[in-house]
Chains A and B, each alone.
Chain A
Amino acid sequence: MDLHFGDSKPTDEERAAVDALLGPPQSSWEGADRSDADLRWARGGREARERRDLLLPGLHALNDRIGWISEGALDYLCRRLTVPPAEAYGVATFYAMFSVRPRPATVLHVCTDLACAAAGAADLCAGVEARLGAGSGVAVERSPCLGLCERAPAALAIRAGDPARTAVSAPATVESAVAAGGAPGSADDEPPAVMAVPQAGDPSLVLLSRVGVVDPADLDDYRAHGGYTALRRAFAIGPAAVIREVTDAGLVGRGGAAFPTGRKWQATASQPDHPHYLVCNADESEPGTFKDRVLMEGDPYALVEAMTVAAYAVGAHQGYLYLRGEYPRALRRMEHAIGQARARGLLGDDVLGQGYAFDIEIRRGAGAYICGEETALFNSIEGYRGEPRSKPPFPVEKGLFGKPTVENNVETLVNVLPVLTMGAPAYAAIGTAGSTGPKLYCVSGSVDRPGVYELPFGATLGELLERAGVRERLRAVLLGGAAGGFVRPDELDIPLTFEGTREAGTTLGSGVVMAFDDTVPLPRLLLRIAEFFRDESCGQCVPCRVGTVRQEEALHRIAERTGAAAADDIALLREVGRAMRDASICGLGQTAWNAVESAIDRLGAYE
């Protein structure tokens, strides 16, 4: 690889930001001043290229310190990692949170997604934009779902610096959002994570039992509340038995695809190729989903323990936690928890004195819904554009760095703890025969008590909405987020199980339950969903890249039309939607038309 660099030089601050991550450069091959020794030795090559996965952390380091990524800064980072500048530019421009053009140090992300739109995000946005115009030192960006739906409308301020500061304003008013943008460091503290759990204190809770009960910063408190009993049991019974327990418990993935977890683990554990990797998918970006955030903020050690159990079962010694870039508090909590666990011998070379080595590295996303797709997430960690790979080969065979990899969602992993502490039969007794265990639901929209709810599988949609205090004049319920589907208010007897929702022709997805009353025009919501998919399509395959644009255009045309006036465009939507579902590479394109289709067919959106 013969790299070619431009003439731009990094500023001292940019250089410091990169060096803080990578250490000072060892030679001029890595960007230091040239010395005599450099003329005798060529350094770099394979050793440098194997650090390619530090590209995304490097871009974060620059963006955190400076607020944007200049030519000189990108070139310097490329020199340090032996990455071609064109590729690094392709990666930097892939993520919504990065900018390769100068911008103010503070960026205020105002959520305009479904729950926030229903809670008046349009007025909030207009008000904030009017107050924070050019010269205010704050760039206002309209953002997809920030995962704060229980406190809609939401805004997130990020101020670059050393360290970067963040502030969340939710529920936001123009006043509070502007204040957060003006001084992120001094904004009011966020309410504790337990405020998002209306059932807190209920003794029947399994997954959420510790949220609000334990101090999320205190490892001893976690251990005093049953922490690390699952890992002890895992070590006692051995990896094969752990996988058997998880299989017998009937645990399936909670990220949306509902794949049997035990089968995934078994397939990875039996791969002869090594090393094996464990990846926790905490890139929770499905509009309306915030359960993983609440778990990580309220009970971070549970995820650390669950990852350790999973890694032990599949024979992995390195785990990656790919955490959504828009979750600053979850990042702090998880960093702290991992550090504490490492200091106390619960991570590291000798976990619990059992001679088993395991450690966790956190990787931050940077604003790309597509990176929640498992193979796109691998590419993102590896320092490439977060584009999905084609399958087969599947991750259990060739995943992260081309090695056998288990990737699980946060909620899935946290379920492993009760599987081990209760035992598979007791766990499998919760829920229904086809969907076992407890399930988290993210309830938001037109309800009095939005938040994360835990119910055993099998409860009906009506029971869940009743608990959340659904308001009058319910018009529609969105299940599964933007990739899910709408159901009518007269379908509240749908059982919330994988098989029950499938039978009803809808999906449970990641557990989003968003209620809408008739104050929000349905076509506006559909248009927002279509905008979301257009913005978040990675652009790799034609059906999704152009199809999502055509879908949005058609929905725009019929926003104010009904009946025969909309019929032609609805026919067009069906044809494009069918091709997106059939021919797209990954789940994003395949599901981009689901919600719109369900609104047309079930709700009669344009009749």
Chain B
Amino acid sequence: MTVVPLGVPRRLIEFTLDGQEARVPEGSTILDACRAAGKDVPTLCQGDTLTPKNACRVCVVEVEGARTLVPACSRRAEAGMEVRTDTERARHSRKVVLELLASSVDLSTTPGAAEWIKEYEAKPDRFGPDAARVNEEPKVDNDLYVRDYDKCILCYKCVDACGDQWQNTFAISVAGRGFDARIAVEHDAPLTDSACVYCGNCIEVCPTGALSFKSEFDMRAAGTWDESAQTETTTVCAYCGVGCNLTLHVQDNEIVKVTSPHDNPVTHGNLCIKGRFGYQHVQNRD
């Protein structure tokens, strides 16, 4: 049985969300309130297991009295606040943010991106054919996972997952500044020369597919990656006594990717190299 920590009872905050009364526990973000009320606010840099950096700005909403828009993922609800999530002003910023991202990086493997671009009528092409792009080649420097920074939106999630929010390995950081900023290990070295422990927890949180299993990367390149043909089976990792949950993604009777349920109270979606990548023996048929 899973023990759910109840914690200290929290006061309820009352505020107005799109004209409706909303009540959320103290400490909740505007995004929590939106989701509780069944509203769809797009998010990229927000993740269920991390404190967001609120860098992508796609979740901005309008708060009465605030000079600028505020990120729903990070701003905590305050009593009496008047929040509007779907104003022309908020939609405009979301549209432009989507255009800016789609015109500079490859969002083809970002879940939700295509739908949002359609919903907000974003036209990334209008910056012209010469609009600067990130233009990165995939970094394939180890057998386990690939870093394709042409798809990176700099959400900081991998850095946070590798650093003090989860893994405490600190193998990667944002290097450089402005449009030239990139996720990198020290001296931009290959991963094999870095502090990386190949836990793959960065892949788990990557919202765009910039970080992916080598198996997924190769299958996509070969055109054989087919999520509709995959099954997902959650099981328990057999390597040690912690008992982490693994979700095996299987296509054509081969494990092609391993994730972990984010709501698992022990691991919160995190694994180690063995659970994440040590599955080859299962399908070794020789």
Contacts and interface: CB of A to CB of B under 8 A. Distances in A.
Which of A94, A545, A548 has the most B CB atoms < 10 Å from its CB?
A545
Interface string B162-196: 01000011111111111111001111110001110
B22 to A, nearest CB: 20
Contacts of B92: 575, 578-579, 582
Interface stretch (B7-15, B52-60, B208-216, B271-279): B52-60
A581 interface: yes
Interface stretch (B111-119, B123-131, B198-206, B228-236): B123-131
Contacts of B255: none
B100 A537 contact: no
Interface stretch (A25-33, A80-88, A293-301, A559-567): A80-88
A144 to B, nearest CB: 13
A583 B54 contact: no
Q: Is the interface of A mostly helix, strand, loop or mixed?
A: helix
Contacts of B195: 2-4, 84-86
Contacts, number: 167
B104 interface: yes
B153 interface: yes
Contacts of A546: 100-101, 103-104, 179
Interface residues of A, number: 52
A537 B190 CA distance: 27
Interface string A160-198: 000000000000000000000000000000000000000
B177 A582 contact: no
B36 interface: no
Interface in A509-542: 534-542
Contact of B131 (A4, A390, A553): A553
A535 B100 CA distance: 17
Contact of A1 (B97, B103, B170, B177): B170
A583 B55 CA distance: 10
A256 B100 CA distance: 29
B96 interface: yes
B248 to A, nearest CB: 29
Nearest to B171: A86
A547 interface: yes
A575 B96 contact: yes
B238 interface: no
B97 A549 contact: no
Nearest to B96: A579
Contacts of A547: 96, 100
B74 interface: yes
B178 A583 contact: no
A541 B56 contact: yes
A534 B178 contact: yes
Which of A385, A579, A585 has the most B CB atoms < 10 Å from its CB?
A579
A201 to B, nearest CB: 42
Given A547-B100, A576-B96, A87 B187 contact: no
Interface in B44-62: 53-58, 60
A86 B93 contact: no
A442 interface: no
Nearest to A552: B132
Interface string A56-76: 000000000000000100110
B69 interface: yes
A89 interface: yes
Contacts of A541: 54-57
Interface string B69-112: 10100100000000000000100110111001101100000000
B171 A4 contact: yes
B177 A94 contact: yes
Contacts of B172: 86
Contacts of A287: none
Contacts of B169: 2
Contacts of B97: 542-543, 579, 583
A368 B177 contact: yes
Which of B130, B169, B177 has the most A CB atoms < 10 Å from its CB?
B177
Contacts of A136: none
A184 B169 CA distance: 43
B154 interface: yes
A585 B74 CA distance: 12
Interface string A563-607: 000000000100110110111110000100000000000000000
Which 5 residue pairs across A and B have the least CB separation, nearest first?
A84-B170, A4-B195, A90-B173, A539-B181, A579-B96
Given A6-B193, A86-B173, A540-B55, 18 more contacts: A1-B170, A87-B170, A89-B185, A385-B174, A538-B178, A540-B156, A541-B55, A542-B101, A542-B153, A543-B97, A546-B179, A553-B127, A553-B130, A575-B96, A579-B92, A582-B60, A582-B93, A583-B96
24 contacts: A4-B171, A4-B195, A71-B187, A75-B186, A86-B170, A86-B172, A86-B173, A90-B175, A537-B178, A538-B177, A539-B178, A540-B154, A543-B97, A545-B154, A546-B103, A546-B104, A548-B178, A549-B132, A550-B127, A553-B131, A554-B127, A575-B92, A576-B96, A585-B55
Interface of A: 1-4, 6, 71, 74-75, 84-90, 93-94, 96, 100, 368, 385, 390, 534-543, 545-550, 553-554, 557, 572, 575-576, 578-579, 581-585, 590
